[in-house]
Amino acid sequence: MNCTDFLAKLTDYFDGQIDPTLLVEVKEHLGTCHHCEVVVDTTRKTIDVYRGAQTYEFPDELANRLRAAVMDRCKTVGKYPDVEKRASEPVAKHS
Ligand SMILES: [Zn+2]
């Protein structure tokens, strides 16, 4: 699992909908990748805020922002050579 795979599972992870096998991989990745560890930490705090305010729904805007931030960092580090082509996949437009 790399950062892209991890981010694809992030919403499932927070929803508790994740497959146990994947959960092991997610936790493994978290143990080795500081970027994603920070993302999870930030996301958890953000979710707490949302939960306090209204019915919780994982916001697309947040997911896109997190994804962009991690991709940016991973590219800078150069640790994941496949990030460049994956990052060029179409993403939701900002309104
Ligand atoms: Zn990562």
Please report whether residue 78 resides in a domain: yes
Please report whether residue 92 resides in a domain: no
Between the CA of 95 and the centroid of ligand 1 the distance, in Å, is 27
Half-sphere exposure of 10 (CA within 13 A, CB side): 28
Please report whether residue 12 resides in a domain: yes
CA-based R_g, the chain, Å: 13
Please report whether residue 80 resides in a domain: yes
Q: What is the pTM of this model?
A: 0.53
Between the CA of 34 and the centroid of ligand 1 the distance, in Å, is 7
Domain that holds residue 14: 3-87
Please report whether residue 71 resides in a domain: yes
Q: Which residue has the tokens 């991890």?
A: 6
As a whole-number percent, the residues of the chain with pLDDT over 70 amount to: 69
Between the CA of 58 and the centroid of ligand 1 the distance, in Å, is 20
Between the CA of 50 and the centroid of ligand 1 the distance, in Å, is 24
49-93 pLDDT per residue, tens? 777 666 556 677 777 888 888 888 777 665 555 555 555 556 655
Please report whether residue 8 resides in a domain: yes
Please report whether residue 50 resides in a domain: yes
**CB of 37 closer than 8 Å to CB of 30:** yes
Structure tokens at 89: 């996949």
Q: Which residue has the tokens 């991973």?
A: 74
Between the CA of 51 and the centroid of ligand 1 the distance, in Å, is 25
- The domain total for the chain is 1
